[in-house]
């Protein structure tokens, strides 16, 4: 048998390799303010398989958050393509992107972004309320189930101000899980937490990943990044490792 064919051909089982869940192909991103241009990404090629847990690291201004914004459809590439689960995101309208994002991506932010006048349960069902998915009773059942999953089944009626920082981040994760997304993305999700609570958050991400979700997060903490299956390093708008 041709050795080269064996090296690059189909797996031994005879099945073709599945396409990556996420593919960035020659992605550039330029931000413009008046006559000033800032080149955040300089031709990024990146593939992330379904079911991976990937940490994105690099110095401030390296392009980490820009990559996350492109993968979640919050931003668009200046050049190149971003494909997630078979969809070319740059080809979708803003309305189509909003619908796609609501169904496929759960986003966890550094500063929680909970609505202060709503209970933990009401915050956890917000994505379903916005999408008007299912009856109200079904939405609240989903919210309760997700709060149980993150260890807050006894805090459903508490306001954010009555919760610790770690508990608020758990509510944010429950909210991110509302639509049962394939992809959970965190932009410095532990940056506002103490070391012990941050470690607990990553244990939770690990559990979600073990249940089949693809988890992608940006972090400055190399030790926590090391808990991921894979670490992608960004420097000066380029992937330099991982």
pLDDT for 5 equals 38
Enumerate residues 6+ apart whose C-beta is below 8 A from 181. 103, 104, 105, 106, 213
Q: How far is CA 47 from the centre of its chain?
A: 14
Q: Where are the domains of the chain?
A: 50-76+92-241
Residue 84 near residue 22 (C-beta atoms within 8 A): yes
Task: Give mean pLDDT in consecutive 10-residue pieces for the chain, a chain of 242 residues.
Answer: 39 62 97 92 96 94 93 95 96 92 90 93 91 85 94 95 93 93 91 86 90 93 89 95 80
Enumerate residues 6+ apart whose C-beta is below 8 A from 91. none
For residue 157, what are its two tokens?
Answer: 């009626």
* Exposure of 213 in the CB half-sphere (CA atoms within 13 A): 24
- d(Cα 200, Cα 64) in Å, to the nearest integer? 23
pLDDT for 89 equals 96
**Closest by Cα among 187, 178, 72 to 123:** 178
- d(Cα 201, Cα 216) in Å, to the nearest integer? 13
Write down the pTM of the prediction: 0.86
- Considering the domain delimited by 50-76+92-241, tell me its CATH architecture: 3-Layer(aba) Sandwich (3.40)
Beta bridge partners of 236: none
Torsion angle, alpha carbons of 108, 114, 119, 124, to 10: -30
For residue 1, what are its two tokens?
Answer: 């048998």
Enumerate residues 6+ apart whose C-beta is below 8 A from 231. 54, 55, 56, 57, 225, 241, 242
**Closest by Cα among 82, 8, 80, 21 to 53:** 21
Torsion angle, alpha carbons of 166, 141, 118, 100, to 10: 80
pLDDT for 201 equals 85
């Amino acid at each position: 048998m041709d050795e080269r064919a064996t090296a690059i051909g189909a797996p031994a089982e005879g099945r073709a390799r599945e396409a990556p869940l996420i593919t960035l192909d020659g992605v550039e991103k330029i931000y413009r303010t008046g006559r000033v241009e800032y080149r955040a990404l300089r031709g990024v090629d990146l593939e992330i398989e379904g079911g991976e847990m990937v940490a994105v690291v690099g110095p401030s201004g390296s392009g980490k958050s820009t990559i996350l914004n492109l993968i979640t459809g919050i931003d668009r590439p200046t050049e190149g393509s971003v494909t997630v689960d078979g969809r070319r995101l740059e080809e979708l309208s803003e309305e189509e992107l909003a619908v796609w994002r609501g169904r496929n991506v759960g986003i966890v932010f550094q500063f929680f972004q909970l609505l202060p006048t709503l209970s933990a349960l009401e915050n956890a069902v917000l994505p379903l309320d916005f999408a008007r998915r299912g009856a109200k009773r079904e939405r609240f059942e989903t919210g309760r189930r997700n709060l149980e999953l993150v260890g807050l089944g006894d805090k459903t009626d508490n306001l954010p101000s009555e919760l610790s920082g770690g508990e608020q981040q758990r509510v944010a994760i429950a909210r991110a899980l509302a639509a049962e997304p394939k992809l959970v993305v965190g932009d410095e999700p532990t940056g506002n937490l103490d070391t012990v609570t941050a470690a607990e958050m990553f244990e939770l991400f690990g559990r979600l990943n073990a249940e089949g979700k693809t988890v992608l997060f940006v972090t400055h903490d190399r030790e926590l990044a090391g808990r991921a299956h894979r670490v992608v390093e960004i420097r000066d708008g380029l992937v330099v490792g991982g």
